[in-house]
Structure 1
Amino acid sequence: MKETGRHAKHQFDELDRELISLLRKDARAPLAKLADILMVSRGTVQNRLDRLLDSGALLGFTIRVREDYDENTIRAVMLIEVVGKSTTQVIKRLRGMPELTKLHTTNGAWDLVAEVQTSSLAEFDRILREVRMIDGVLNSETSLLLSSV
Structure 2
Amino acid sequence: MDDLDRRLIAKLRHDARAPVADLAKALGVARGTITNRMARLERDGVITGYTVRLRPDSAPDEICAWTSLAVEGNQHRVIRALLGEPGVAALHDTNGRWDLLAELRVGSLAELSTVLERIRGIEGISASETSVHLQTLRG
Band of TM-score, shorter chain:
0.7 to 0.9
Please identify, of 57-66 and 15-24, the stretch whose mean Cα deviation from structure 2 is larger.
Answer: 57-66
SS at match of 1:36: helix
Spell out the pairing of 1:1-80 with structure 2 (5 A cutoff).
Answer: 11-13=1-3, 15-80=4-69
Cα deviation, residue 32, structure 1? 1.6
- Report the CA distance shift for 1:19/1:120 in structure 2 as closer, same or farther (over 3 A): same
Instruction: Give the equivalent residue in structure 1 for 2:130.
Output: 142
Gaps of 5+ in 1: 1-10
Cα deviation, residue 135, structure 1? 5.0
Instruction: Give the equivalent residue in structure 2 for 1:7.
Output: none
- Whole-Å separation in 1 of the counterparts to 2:82 and 2:40: 34
Which structure would you say has the larger Rg? Answer: 1
- Whole-Å separation in 2 of the counterparts to 1:22 and 1:95: 26
What do the CA deviations read for 1:87-131 (whole angstroms, capped 9, x no partner)? 555445444421122333433322332211110111112223333
Gaps of 5+ in 2: none
Cα deviation, residue 140, structure 1? 1.9
Instruction: Give the equivalent residue in structure 2 for 1:8.
Output: none
> Which residue type is aligned with residue 109 of structure 1?
R
- Whole-Å separation in 1 of the counterparts to 2:28 and 2:55: 30
- TM-score, normalized by length of structure 1? 0.72
Q: Percent identity?
A: 45
**Aligned-residue CA RMSD in angstroms?**
2.6
Spell out the pairing of 1:52-131 with structure 2 (5 A cutoff).
Answer: 52-82=41-71, 84-85=72-73, 87=75, 90-131=78-119
What do the CA deviations read for 1:12-69 (whole angstroms, capped 9, x no partner)? 13x2222221111111111221222223222222232233333333223333223442
SS at match of 2:134: coil
SS at match of 2:90: strand
- Report the CA distance shift for 1:21/1:72 in structure 2 as closer, same or farther (over 3 A): same
Please identify, of 99-108 and 84-93, the stretch whose mean Cα deviation from structure 2 is larger.
Answer: 84-93
